[in-house]
Structure 1
Amino acid sequence: MESISHFIYDYLTSLGLSEKLAVYINMLVLLLFLLVIIFIIDFVIRRLILGAFSQLAKRSKSNFDDIMVKNKVPRNIAHIIPLIIAVEFVPMVFTDFPYWENIIEKALMVFGIVLTLWVVRSLLNTFKDYFKTLPNFKDKPVDSYIQVFMIFAWVIGLFGAFAILTGVTFWEFATGLGAFAAIILLVFKDTILGFVASIQVSINDMVRIGDWISFEKYGADGDVIEINLATVKVQNWDKTITTIPTYALISDSFKNWRGMTNSGGRRIKRALNIKLDSVKYLSLNEVNKLKEIHIINSYLEQRQKDIEDYNATNNINKAIALNGRNLTNLGVFRKYIETYVENHSAINKDMMIMARQLEPTTQGIPLEIYAFSSDKRWQNYEYIISDIFDHVIAAVPYFDLEIFELPNNSNFKKGTLN
């Protein structure tokens, strides 16, 4: 480069140009020459690296190299060599212009920091995308760790760039910023909170990608599709997307359905309200009639025998039904529901199955079914519940019971209120 510079300068002065003009033209010609060389080298190296990666991708069984190309890792790395060449030859181009040489060198150093950050970012995005293809990592908040690392990298890069531009050493510049720590904390408050929350969420395994969560405060009810430093994205069942601040996962209460998903069933917990005045003791004829119901026939046979033996042993006066032990239509109906649910093909028999009375209210006595469906998919789960309660509601009249419901216009018109 130095010999070329002397040749151009001598040639220009031989044409009768002044020394000052010859120096300027010499600098412009060398700069143009250097830019052309850098462009050609950058083009050739980029082609060679991309070609090498393409050949490697064809031979490799892993998709890691494909992801590297997708995230422009080879392209960013290819820019390093032209940058080194520019740094080496810029002093020769601007030998007679120390002021511009200083500015260009600083600009190249700053660009080197930015290029380094680009390479680091593309590599981290490559690892992020690759980890998401692995079963052990696809439900982990990898995005959060990548973003935290990139924040630190950008902060260090900015410190370095300012140090270069101002002529202050990196450590002196970083130390001077200590006075502005409070302002920095205020500006990056959400980022810091998100960073702390991401670590706690990950360590405590509170939420994973793919978990179904319910967060009433933010109107979220669906699957977690992304966890990053600042937000958690939830795809609701109506396909809308709800964005939740990451730190809200540790500061507010939400429901994670992972335990249900990993268990053997999904809980059914629903009640019918039975009218209190429809509950009664059963007479012998009514008991015999209910024995025609297949699934409680053996229960009624054994239960009736036990009651009769007890009353006879204790000389109970059965002229009044209240005396002694008796069967009630509500008790038999509760047993019928429990037996029916136990025999239902969609119910997990290894988990809790129960039909129980809850505390009476002004709307009757709740009779609750507590069980777990084998199929946990939402649509099938709802179908199972509907199938069970369709049958149970239709069975109520067979036990001389009534379901409580508030009066409507037809009750007033027909005068059937009671």
Structure 2
Amino acid sequence: MKQLNNWLIALFENLNISTQWATAFGTTISVIILIISALLAQLLVRAILLSFINKIFQKTKTEWDDFLIKRKVLSALAHLPSAFMIYAVSGFSELIVVDYSLSVISRIYFVFIFTMVAVRFANAVNDIYQTTPYAATRPIKGYVQLLQIFTIFVAVIFGIAILINKSPLGLFAGLGAMAAVLLLIFKDSILGFVASIQLSANKMLKPGDWIEMPSHKADGTVIDISLTTVKVQNWDKTITTIPTYALVSESFNNWAGMEESGGRRIKRSINLDMKSVRFADEKLLEKLSRFYLLKDYIADKQEDIKQFNAKLNVQDGDVYNGRRQTNLGIFRYYLNAYLKQNPNIHREMTFLVRHLQPTDSGLPIEIYVFSKDQRWANYEGIQADIFDHVLAILPEFDLRVYQSPSGYDITQLANCFKATN
């Protein structure tokens, strides 16, 4: 390169150009030739060597080399011949500015290449880790991003040191005075890093979990956990971005436990008009005995009541002192039996049909069971089928649902009033 530069300078001097301008022209052309040569070297490496390596990697049975190709780690390494070429010929010119500039450019180029390789290799490592069974419960994307930030930060320090011709160790030592500023700049990254460690160590969250966080209007599936943010795809297909540290400092619901349990809770009540609750007379008992779920129960219960009343010397016709069945008690038993025969309801998990505290809106009868099918649409269908049946069967027990008067009720009352007058 030095011989080419000298030859070009001599050529321009033979054309009666001053030595100063001949040197400038010759050096400029030499630099242009150097840049073109470096680009050609990079293209040749990409076209020949990388193409050959890619073909070998594609034929292997392992997947890790495929991720290296996907993340273009080898493409970053293809810049090395160009960098070595610039560094090797950096002393060819008689102009100090050119030699110094080429030396600085080549060293910064090396820093850029190694930084690019490190960042891409870290992404490839994360991709390889995603293929392991541990990735489902312990994601490392946050740690990978932190490592990439640290690598870029160190690269910037080395780049500045090369530009000002100072030792990078001296710059690192001087960073102590800038610690407060750095903490402010990287506050979110530091908080996110600490939060990601807590989330991972305590198994609080992983991709694929269904979480609910009303304070951030998030209700959906976690699709990504990074160093500073967690992305949640809501059920309406919108995406909510939550700061990672907010998941540690604030509360959220994780429905993963429900999904892993094999059941989804049905917890819903229906309000009954308390005025419709009464003792079951013979006519009602006879009618309800036609239900195959109630036939044996009513007969056994009546026999038990008869024996109990006999011990108290209560006559059969005494409706005031003895025990008697109620339409509500029979209905609760029926509801238990009906749910137990439903193939979509878990028998091994919590199973309750209970009274809640009576209010001015009636007596709530709550169903607290678990559906075997956790899929949203199917779960809602199972729940709706149960309460469709409950609402339809209630009149058979001479029970009424409580609801506030509507316009239809008022109209009916007015019509009754007119008819009586």
TM over 0.5: yes
Report the equivalent of 1:364: 362
Alpha-carbon contact 2:137-2:200 (below 8 Å) kept: no
**Offset of 1:204 from its aligned partner?**
0.8
Report the equivalent of 1:346: 344
Aligned length: 415
Distance between the aligned counterparts of 1:138 and 1:332, measured in 2?
49
Q: Residue 151 and residue 10 in structure 1: after superposition, are their counterparts in 2 closer, same or farther (change >3 A)? A: same
Alpha-carbon contact 1:141-1:226 (below 8 Å) kept: no
Report the equivalent of 1:193: 191
Distance between the aligned counterparts of 1:385 and 1:342, measured in 2?
14
**Offset of 1:173 from its aligned partner?**
1.0
1:279 to 257, 277, 280: 277
Q: Which moved more, 1:228-237 or 1:3-12?
A: 3-12
- Post-superposition Cα deviations, 1:252-288, rounded to whole Å, max 9, x if no partner, equal 1111111111112111111111111111111233223
Alpha-carbon contact 1:281-1:321 (below 8 Å) kept: no
Question: Is it true that 1:237 corresponds to 2:235 in the alignment?
Answer: yes
**Offset of 1:352 from its aligned partner?**
2.1
Q: Find the residue that maps to 1:415 and give its secondary structure.
A: helix
Distance between the aligned counterparts of 2:404 and 2:133, measured in 1?
53
Letter in 1 for 2:163: L
Alpha-carbon contact 1:131-1:138 (below 8 Å) kept: no
Q: Find the residue that maps to 2:405 and give its secondary structure.
A: coil
Distance between the aligned counterparts of 1:389 and 1:74, measured in 2?
62
Q: Residue 337 and residue 85 in structure 1: after superposition, are their counterparts in 2 closer, same or farther (change >3 A)? A: same
Report the equivalent of 2:34: 34
Alpha-carbon contact 1:268-1:371 (below 8 Å) kept: yes
Alpha-carbon contact 1:311-1:325 (below 8 Å) kept: yes
Distance between the aligned counterparts of 2:332 and 2:117, measured in 1?
69
**Offset of 1:12 from its aligned partner?**
4.3
Alpha-carbon contact 1:341-1:353 (below 8 Å) kept: no
Q: Find the residue that maps to 2:321 and give its secondary structure.
A: coil
- Determine what percentage of the aligned residue pairs are the same residue: 36
Report the TM-score, using the length of structure 1 for normalisation: 0.93
**Offset of 1:346 from its aligned partner?**
0.9
Report the equivalent of 1:107: 105
**Offset of 1:83 from its aligned partner?**
0.3
Report the equivalent of 1:172: 170
Q: Which moved more, 1:175-184 or 1:271-280?
A: 175-184
Q: Residue 322 and residue 170 in structure 1: after superposition, are their counterparts in 2 closer, same or farther (change >3 A)? A: farther
Distance between the aligned counterparts of 1:300 and 1:86, measured in 2?
98
**Offset of 1:324 from its aligned partner?**
3.0
Question: Is it true that 1:203 corresponds to 2:201 in the alignment?
Answer: yes
- Post-superposition Cα deviations, 1:332-384, rounded to whole Å, max 9, x if no partner, equal 10111011000001112222222111111111111111111111111111110
**Offset of 1:65 from its aligned partner?**
3.1
Letter in 2 for 1:264: G
**Offset of 1:15 from its aligned partner?**
4.7
Structure 2 residue runs of 5 or longer lacking an equivalent are 417-421
Letter in 1 for 2:90: V
**Offset of 1:176 from its aligned partner?**
1.4
Report the equivalent of 1:78: 78
Distance between the aligned counterparts of 2:114 and 2:332, measured in 1?
72
- Post-superposition Cα deviations, 1:290-321, rounded to whole Å, max 9, x if no partner, equal 11111121111111111110110122356553
1:131 to 129, 132, 145: 129
Q: Find the residue that maps to 1:99 and give its secondary structure.
A: helix
Q: Find the residue that maps to 1:136 and give its secondary structure.
A: helix
**Offset of 1:138 from its aligned partner?**
4.7
Alpha-carbon contact 1:213-1:257 (below 8 Å) kept: yes
Q: Which moved more, 1:112-121 or 1:10-19?
A: 10-19
**Root-mean-square deviation (CA), in Å?**
2.0
Q: Residue 322 and residue 271 in structure 1: after superposition, are their counterparts in 2 closer, same or farther (change >3 A)? A: farther
Distance between the aligned counterparts of 2:257 and 2:125, measured in 1?
30
Distance between the aligned counterparts of 1:301 and 1:54, measured in 2?
81
Question: Is it true that 1:391 corresponds to 2:398 in the alignment?
Answer: no
**Offset of 1:6 from its aligned partner?**
4.0
2:408 to 383, 407, 410: 410
Q: Residue 293 and residue 103 in structure 1: after superposition, are their counterparts in 2 closer, same or farther (change >3 A)? A: same
